[in-house]
Chain A
Amino acid sequence: MKNTKPGRAAQFFRRGKWVDYTFLLPAVLFIVILMIYPMWYSIDMGFRDVTLKNFVSGEQPFVWFKNFEAVLNDRFFTNALNNTFIFVIVCLVFHFLFGFAFALYFNKTFKGAKWMRALLLIAWMNPTVITGAIFEWILAGDIGILNYVLTSFGIIPEAINFLSNARTALGSIIFANIWVGIPFNMIILLSGLQGIPDELYESAVIDGAGAWRKFRYITWPMMLPTISVLFLLGFIYTFKVFDLIYAMTKGGPANSSQILSYYAYEKSFTMFRFGEGAAASNISFLIIIVLALIYVRISQKEGVAA
């Protein structure tokens, strides 16, 4: 029997923790350089006076909360904030309703189910800029197909200029974004549904439960963890939506479909007020973090199983 006492070199490398950290190093480096540093740079820029004059060269003095004040006092910011909340809440509600409906439908296996599910996924996989361009053409007043169909069937007397009318512009981008997000919700909810053991349903049937009671007392409670994750993710994704607005309305007409992400973009890249744009982004970031924290507190409290 060989006495396998490890040599000096092998002993050094067996110091467990160091080896572990070395394996972590590439990932940590990646996150620090590509995520934490840009985030920090952006947060920092929100507190400095950065405009065209000093962006390329020159001093960028620390101005504490001046940028935040300027942004919060801007009525266009308040407008964008309101629009963003309307946008997010309406989208979330309809994403969930339609997503759940489709998920329930596809929970049963029937002929062609797999194909239909794949087709529905296209809505979500399509590059959003292209989706935006397509919806722009569909909803156009003069050349749009939706108006053509509606007026031909006499459903509406004359064309509605969905994207040119300040009253309908926000509704139009909400409409487009709902279409984009339904498949994602459906997939997540479907996998949640399929995780519910059949025996629960079988025993419920034995006890004489109808469809509604099955849903209310089995499906819904078992789905709660999935649903809460979905709402959190959905909120974050919808809050960040940018390309759809860029492709469809660019926040117009007259800022009626302006949302926070596009507002911050305009401030930085069209008006070159980089400091204020960063401040707007920081406020956006803060809102999301607060929400995420609330979610974590709630799910810890309720002891929701993963």
Chain B
Amino acid sequence: MKKLLIVLLAMAVLFSATACSPGAAPSGTSTPSEPAASGGEASSAAGGDALALWHYWNSDLQQGLLKDLVDGYKAETGVKIEVSYIPYGEYMQKILVSAAGNVMPELFLYDANTTATLVEAGVLADITAQVERSGIMKNVLPYSVQEHSVGDKVYGFPCYSNCVAFFYRTDLIETPPETWSELYATAKEVATSDMYGFAMAGEGEDGVFQFLPFVWSAGADLDNIAAPGAVEALDMLSRMISEGLMSKDTVTNSQEDARVLFETGRAAMMLNGPWNIPPLQENAPDMQWDITLIPRADNGEFTSILGGESFGIGNGADVEGIWGFVEYVMEPERYSQFLKDIGQLPADTELAKDPYYQDDPINKIFIDQLLVARPRAYGPQYNEMSKAIQTAMGLAMGGQESAEDALKEAAETITPMYEAFFGS
């Protein structure tokens, strides 16, 4: 009994301690010389006046290029920038936790489609003024600018962009399909008992990432995901699965799994992005394939979806201090070379006119596809919207519900959130 009393007393003391404080960390500016917040591998803006750059790039190539930029800048201006690698799986958590501890990095890599989320959390700094002044976004794809903005304020800028395009086997298919009807017909024609007609991702965010272009092409959007166009898209894909033209494992396939099916000859067509080309070329060097624009709805337009990575500046960090480095990196010649070295596509339409991209048949398609690639810019609750779509895809593709019923259920969740962000 006595022991119980002591334990309860201790808990009461703790409770009153937390209840007295106003809640989470007080808002305010951080000083760059504060030590790292939570114990862990990465350190934020470390001692002295070094600026902090956080990223999650894990290849030697990417890390090497980053180091070259940082070293080059130091040689020119003497400003020291400390680069920290944080594994992708823990990245978002680390950012949020550090923000709660009031220690933000000056510059950090992030997924552009999480812009609204990070702004809501007060993590990204408003850089509208700096961007205007330096003009680094003046030639960037309009949809990309939209992705990095909330309202008319800009909170990030693209490092590079990519999108999804349509791959097909040239030895099996003479003319690639342009519309959905042609896609279905071609898949039916070319599928065998060992090979699916078409492969795409259906799992998690990868699945939504690849499904949204279909929705948009039919003229539908998340304001009503149960609109006839979207229903038609999901219905077509579900039919292709039930008829064996697409794998029944589509629902658990990532974009990488779709590529594996394509490169092992188990699928004749696939949706994928440029990052899967090097592995494809390495694993199936003799395969004959080509890419083209994603088939559009029968009476719709060609669309794709924006991916890529971006840079943001920590709210409360030294914006002006790091902006010198930003301008250094974005200097057209240097930036253009960086993109070529890292093997990614520019979000900047002027840089995209470089013959390096225009003359290469594969890059050209991606550049063209980028012009019609739309962003996932639906506000801070996008993850919940995505989850609702994932559930609908799982139900329809698994044959448990009709596409219409599944999407109607999803719309019940998504439409209110859409209207909350955009104001109906």
The chain A residues found within 8 Å of chain B, CB to CB, are: 32, 36-37, 40-41, 44, 48, 50, 52-61, 136, 140-143, 159, 161, 163-166, 249-250, 252-256, 266, 269-272
20 inter-chain pairs at a CB distance below 8 angstroms, sorted by A residue, are A41-B18, A53-B122, A54-B23, A55-B24, A56-B25, A57-B25, A57-B26, A57-B100, A141-B248, A142-B266, A161-B252, A163-B249, A166-B398, A252-B251, A254-B391, A254-B398, A255-B391, A271-B384, A271-B387, A272-B117
Tell me if B121 and A271 are in contact (CB < 8 A).
no
B123 within 8 A of A: yes
**Which residues of chain B (107-129) have a CB below 8 Å from chain A?**
117, 120-123
B25 touches A252 (CB 8 A): no
Residue B422 is within 8 A (CB to CB) of chain A in the complex: no
Q: List the 9 closest pairs (A to B, CB-CB), nearest first.
A: A254-B394, A57-B27, A253-B394, A60-B23, A141-B249, A56-B99, A52-B121, A161-B248, A164-B251
Q: Report yes or no: B387 in contact with A266, Cβ–Cβ below 8 A.
A: yes
Q: A164-B248, A250-B204, A272-B383 are in contact. Are A56 and B398 (CB under 8 A)?
A: no
Question: A32-B10, A44-B15 are contacts. A166–B394 as well, Cβ < 8 Å?
Answer: yes
* Cα–Cα, bound, A132→B380 (Å): 31
Interface residues of B (CB under 8 A from A): 10-11, 14-15, 18, 22-28, 92-93, 96, 99-100, 117, 120-123, 203-204, 247-252, 260-261, 266, 380-381, 383-384, 387, 390-395, 397-398, 400
A58 to B250, CA, bound (A): 43
Nearest chain A residue, comparing its CB with the CB of B266: A142
Partner of B11, one of A40, A60, A141: A40
Min distance, Cβ A178 to any Cβ of chain B, angstroms: 21
Which residues of chain B are within 8 angstroms of A56 by Cβ–Cβ distance? 24-25, 27, 96, 99-100, 121-123
Q: Which residue of B lies closest to A252 (CB)?
A: B394
CA gap between A11 and B310 in the complex, in Å: 68
- B18 and A40 contact, CB distance less than 8 A: yes
Q: How far is the CA of A227 from the CA of B109 in the complex (A)?
A: 52
Residues of chain B with a CB closer than 8 A to A141's CB: 247-249
| Nearest A-chain residue to B104, judged by Cβ | A56
Kindly state the separation between the CA atoms of A159 and B325 in the bound complex, as whole angstroms. Answer: 55
User: Hey, which chain B residues are within 8 Å of A52, CB to CB?
Assistant: 117, 120-121, 380
From residue A251, how far is it (CB to closest CB) to chain B in Å? 10
A141 to B398: give the CA distance in the assembly, Å: 13
Given A56-B24, A56-B96, A59-B23: A36 and B11 interface contact (C-beta under 8 Å): yes
Across the interface, do A253 and B398 meet the contact criterion of CB distance under 8 Å?
A: yes
Query: Are B27 and A142 in contact (CB-based, < 8 A)?
Result: no
Q: Quick check: B391 and A161 within 8 Å, CB to CB?
A: no
A44 CA to B121 CA in the complex, in Å?
Answer: 20
Nearest CB in chain A: distance from B44 CB, A: 15
Given the complex of chains A and B, what is the CA–CA distance between A53 and B400 in angstroms?
Answer: 37
Q: Which of B96, B123, B381, B390 contacts A252 (CB 8 A)?
A: B390
Rounded to whole angstroms, the CA-CA distance of A131 and B260 in the bound complex is 22
For B392, list chain A residues within 8 Å (CB).
254
A residues near B398, Cβ cutoff 8 Å: 164-166, 253-254
Inter-chain CA distance A139–B417, complex, in Å, is 37
B14 touches A249 (CB 8 A): no
Establish whether residues A58 and B247, one from each chain, have CB atoms under 8 Å apart when the complex forms. no
Instruction: Add 6 more A-B contacts to A61-B23, A164-B251, A253-B394 (CB < 8 A).
Output: A55-B121, A56-B24, A165-B248, A165-B398, A254-B395, A272-B380
CB distance from A262 to the nearest CB of B (A): 12
B391 — which chain A residues lie within 8 A by C-beta?
254-255
In angstroms, Cα B251 to Cα A53, docked, is 33
Q: A254 to B203, Cβ gap below 8 A?
A: no
Q: Is the CB of B252 within 8 A of A249?
A: yes
Complex CA gap A163/B249 in Å reads: 8
Whether B15 pairs with A40 at a CB distance below 8 angstroms is yes
When chains A and B are docked, how far (Å) is the Cα of A56 from the Cα of B124? 12
B194 to chain A, nearest CB (A): 10
User: Chain A contacts of B18 at CB under 8 A?
Assistant: 40-41, 44
Q: Does the CB pair A163–B99 fall under 8 Å?
A: no
Complex Cα spacing A56 to B92, Å: 13
